[in-house]
């Protein structure tokens, strides 16, 4: 079935907020189950899949200062939130019979493996899903940057970002109904126009290493499969 794939090795980035569903906070098991079903569908095509999940549904380090918490401490708290999300997603996948490994940039051997690049690649080669948790292990870096970094390290063919909107727009489509979607856009345009795709460090890293990014609505059933098989979905940044 791998002949039908445009991208064989994929890094999927999901925000923590996506796992909260309509609740906006915490974890919604029905939403996670739906995403897990989408992942299973892609694995059955022969794709190798890594995931980076944010922690914004539990704690956002960038907002820590408003609560009297130092930014670095807040970022570490956010990293721990990503581990909670990773373990929840792992449980859903393993309930569906999918071998899954959580690898953390911060060592916590009782609950997950430490991140080692060669081991991660070996897991992927053995058709295991690898969920990369705790960002880069460093404060002041977003999970977008962590996703770009891990995508490079594992030799991913594409970085795909699942969002609540169906493409990249010239303006916020939630606020402006006349916002125009881009079917494709260059890295330079994203940086120059300040388009809200990923943070500048993540975009720059992908640009320097010629790694395409696809931004799409992960909430629509079948969209993940369409992306990896090369159907036109969302916006491609290259």
Contact yes or no for 218/38 (Cβ under 8 A): yes
pLDDT at 3 (0 to 100): 64
pLDDT at 67 (0 to 100): 74
Domain ranges of the chain: 2-237
Bridge partners (DSSP) of residue 101 are 130
pLDDT in tens, the chain (238 residues): 566 899 999 999 999 999 998 887 899 999 999 999 999 999 999 999 999 999 999 987 667 667 789 989 999 999 999 999 999 999 999 999 999 999 999 999 999 999 999 999 999 999 999 999 999 999 999 999 999 999 999 999 999 999 988 999 988 888 888 888 999 999 999 999 988 889 999 999 999 999 999 999 999 999 999 999 999 999 999 9
pLDDT at 210 (0 to 100): 96
Calculate the CA dihedral of residues 132, 188, 194, 20 and round it to 10 degrees: -20
Measured from the Cβ of residue 196, the count of other Cβ atoms closer than 10 Å reads 14
pLDDT at 60 (0 to 100): 75
Please state, in angstroms and rounded to a whole number, the distance separating the CA atoms of residues 112 and 158.
Answer: 25
Q: Return the beta strands (E) in the chain as ranges.
A: 9-14, 48-53, 100-104, 113-114, 129-133, 158-163, 168-169, 181-182, 184-185, 213-217, 235-237
Distance of CA 84 to the CA centre of its chain: 15
Contact yes or no for 129/51 (Cβ under 8 A): yes
Architecture per CATH, domain 2-237, reads as 3-Layer(aba) Sandwich (3.40)
SS3 98: coil
């Amino acid at each position: 079935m791998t002949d039908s794939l445009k991208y064989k090795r994929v890094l999927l980035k999901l925000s923590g907020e996506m796992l909260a569903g309509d609740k906006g906070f915490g974890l919604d098991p029905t939403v996670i189950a739906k995403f897990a079903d989408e992942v299973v569908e892609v694995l059955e095509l022969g794709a190798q899949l890594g995931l980076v999940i944010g922690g914004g549904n539990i704690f956002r380090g960038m907002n820590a200062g408003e609560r009297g918490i130092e930014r670095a401490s807040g970022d570490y708290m956010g990293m721990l939130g990503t581990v909670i999300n990773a373990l929840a997603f792992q449980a859903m996948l393993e309930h569906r019979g999918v071998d899954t490994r959580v690898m953390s940039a911060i060592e916590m051997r009782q609950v997950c493996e430490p991140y080692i690049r060669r081991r991660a690649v070996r897991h992927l080669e053995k058709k295991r899903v690898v969920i990369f948790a705790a960002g880069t292990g460093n404060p002041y870096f977003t999970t977008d940057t962590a996703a770009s970094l891990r995508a490079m390290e594992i030799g991913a063919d594409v970085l795909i970002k699942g969002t609540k909107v169906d493409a990249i727009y010239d303006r916020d489509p939630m606020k402006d109904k006349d916002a125009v979607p881009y079917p494709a856009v260059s890295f330079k345009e994203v940086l120059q126009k300040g388009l809200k795709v990923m943070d500048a460090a993540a975009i720059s890293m992908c640009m320097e290493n010629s790694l395409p990014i696809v931004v799409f609505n992960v909430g629509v059933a079948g969209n993940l499969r369409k992306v990896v098989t090369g159907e036109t979905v969302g916006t491609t940044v290259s």
